Structure 1
């Protein structure tokens, strides 16, 4: 079981390693969540825009793990930005999940061309936190300028910023800003799965990188395990996605070894500076065209 946690800026305990369900299909998400929780995971990450909240909630119930022992995250989609709309969307999400509260509620993207509504949505999240309906609030995919603008106009510093981060795209300046502001960095696509659906940008996916595969062979571990261990030792939370029971078990089996300083440095040097997904500066509901269904 993963018992390594990160204390966020309001004192909540965030499990360092969790399961993401992005790109999971249908009932796969339900079985993946129940399998993960039975395997020792305690952090489950979803989003309204993944269209898997019902399945995630069912997976939690199927697992037999007490809801109080699960750290559950979901995210607000851009079409529901705005103060009142965000509050309604939160109610929709918890109804789909079948829960009374969330452990972490995130704004899924900045909306740079409509930042006033982005701020209004975060103020709604602040209200939910004050009311005790969420244990922590944060954002996802916010670049430095988005974060600085948000914290200048709101009262509560985000507990978490969930960003694309893997050996090929490490965002060191962004991570440094998180440290400065007291924000936990949480890596989505932590082993580089983004390359499977957003294009490789001419880069070798991390799982096939010679440096990582050599470390894995020397350690008797898989490349994915080496990458996840790298995240953990650098103080980040990570949410790898898988629907395969053997991969789910493999991804949490990373607490019995440590990478050396030289190995960490070797992985740090793999940064290409190139994203796999879209640049948050251009994020709009029109670019990522989704309609969130009702509860």
Structure 2
């Protein structure tokens, strides 16, 4: 990938709650994931932090990302809410802190300097953006002192976002894909299912393998139970150029996440 600082695949935690959240994150870390993605909006930062503490993995080996929710994007709220996130996570800093959506209290002239201040305080190693378009990315890069390390967007075989992926490659911004297995609907796609049969794999694993072979893309599937390990095993699948081309042709420009909804799922 273009920027190797973001481990892939990562483990998404949207929709995970309570003890099951903690158990699934522990399971993910012990299965080999080294990148865990959460957010203030998900309401599970405390459980994620407990999992990182419990897992038989050194903290310094875990790449931890969280996001500032849209309501907290005024300058002072970015600072205060990030400190609260660190407290809930039980850490002194995160590896990546995102602006979750450029909506609600988002004001680039206030929000982005606050993100720089958070980085200057050592509360995050990297600054990220999420759900931006190219125009918003250009504006943010002009205002931020810190480089944009990652851009998280809905991305999967039905919504391939080539313009944003290409932009990330050009500017050395890792593109982090949520909904990479189409909210569990990968097995509804005939092409993915056919390729899965060829590889004695699942359609979900094929969708993830496609992401993992795209330069500059990091997939963050969420999962529970046996799906945690099964998703991670996708990194063992080597797709041929012909199979990748077949998946590229699936593009439907179909968005599964409503930008106006209150909850977004991986």
TM-score of the aligned structures, taking structure 2 as reference length = 0.93
Q: 1:39 & 1:175 partners in 2: Cα distance?
A: 28
Q: 2:109 & 2:256 partners in 1: Cα distance?
A: 27
The equivalent residue for 1:201 is: none
Distance change (3 Å), C-alpha of 1:255 and 1:114:
closer
Gaps of 5+ in 2: none
Query: Is 2:249 the partner of 1:269?
Result: yes
Q: 1:119 & 1:184 partners in 2: Cα distance?
A: 23
The equivalent residue for 2:262 is: 288
- The Cα of 1:28 is off from its aligned counterpart by 1.2
The equivalent residue for 2:156 is: 166
- Length, aligned pairs only: 262
Cα-to-partner distance string for 1:17-53 (whole Å, 9 max, x where unaligned): 1111101132111000101111111110000000000
Q: 2:135 & 2:121 partners in 1: Cα distance?
A: 29
Greater than 3 Å deviation, 4+ residue runs: none
Q: 1:288 & 1:151 partners in 2: Cα distance?
A: 27
Counterpart contact for 1:106–1:140, Cα < 8 Å: yes
The equivalent residue for 2:177 is: 187
Counterpart contact for 2:33–2:232, Cα < 8 Å: yes
Gaps of 5+ in 1: 1-5, 197-204, 290-295
Distance change (3 Å), C-alpha of 1:95 and 1:88:
same
* 1:175 pairs with one of 140, 148, 165: 165
Matches within 5 A, 1:122-133: 122-133=112-123
Aligned-partner SS, 2:235 = coil
Q: 2:9 & 2:93 partners in 1: Cα distance?
A: 21
* 2:56 pairs with one of 60, 64, 70: 64
RMSD over equivalenced CA pairs, Å: 1.8
